[in-house]
């Protein structure tokens, strides 16, 4: 069965510092991995995805994520956090032949000035 785990309910970081939001996954076969961001009372916005190719994926708003097959991880990173990055972040996985996205429980990112 597919699953996604985001071990941290909340991540706090000071503005200007690097940030990491962790994600690990479990899926049969090659995973398709995604990060989405959600602002209060809004739908999800796509940040980036890993399908194949380079393990380091660059996405929107300066975010990037590194796919690590041996550790089954896909951590979201940003070199310098902004207060406006404060939001709820979701990691998601889709199996090779599946249509459905399975979401992690979400991590609230709080960036303080």
Partner 1 sequence: GAVVSQHPSWVICKSGTSVKIECRSLDFQATTMFWYRQFPKQSLMLMATSNEGSKATYEQGVEKDKFLINHASLTLSTLTVTSAHPEDSSFYICSAPLREGSYNEQFFGPGTRLTVL
Q: Which is nearer to partner 1, 5 or 82 (CB)?
A: 5
Q: Which of 57, 87, 94, 111 binds partner 1 (CB under 8 A)?
A: 94
CB 86 within 8 A of CB 111: yes
User: Taking the CA of residue 2 as centre, how many other CA atoms within 13 Å lie in the half-sphere pointing to its CB?
Assistant: 19
Composition of the chain by helix, strand, coil, percent to 5: 5, 50, 45
Binder of partner 1 out of 25, 32, 35, 89 (CB under 8 A): 32
Using alpha carbons only, what angle is made at residue 67 by residues 61 and 30, rounded to the nearest 5 degrees?
120
Nearer to partner 1, 82 or 102 (CB): 102
Both tokens of 91, joined, read 């990691």
**Contact between 69 and partner 1 per CB under 8 A:** no
In the complex with partner 1, the residue whose CB is nearer, 16 or 51, is 51
Q: Is 5 in the site for partner 1 (CB under 8 A)?
A: no
Q: Which residues bind partner 1 (CB under 8 A)?
A: 32, 34, 36, 41-46, 49, 51, 88, 90, 94, 98-106, 108
């Amino acid at each position: 069965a597919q699953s996604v785990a985001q071990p941290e309910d909340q991540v706090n970081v000071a503005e200007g510092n690097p940030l990491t939001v962790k994600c690990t996954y479990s899926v049969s076969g090659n995973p398709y991995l995604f990060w989405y961001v959600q602002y209060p009372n809004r739908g999800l916005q796509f940040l980036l995805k890993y399908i194949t190719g380079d393990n380091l994926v660059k996405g929107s708003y300066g975010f990037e994520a590194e796919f690590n097959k041996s550790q089954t991880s896909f951590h979201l990173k940003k070199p310098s956090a902004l207060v406006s990055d404060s939001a709820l972040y979701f990691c998601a996985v889709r199996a090779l032949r599946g249509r459905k996205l399975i979401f992690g429980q979400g991590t609230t990112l709080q960036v303080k000035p």
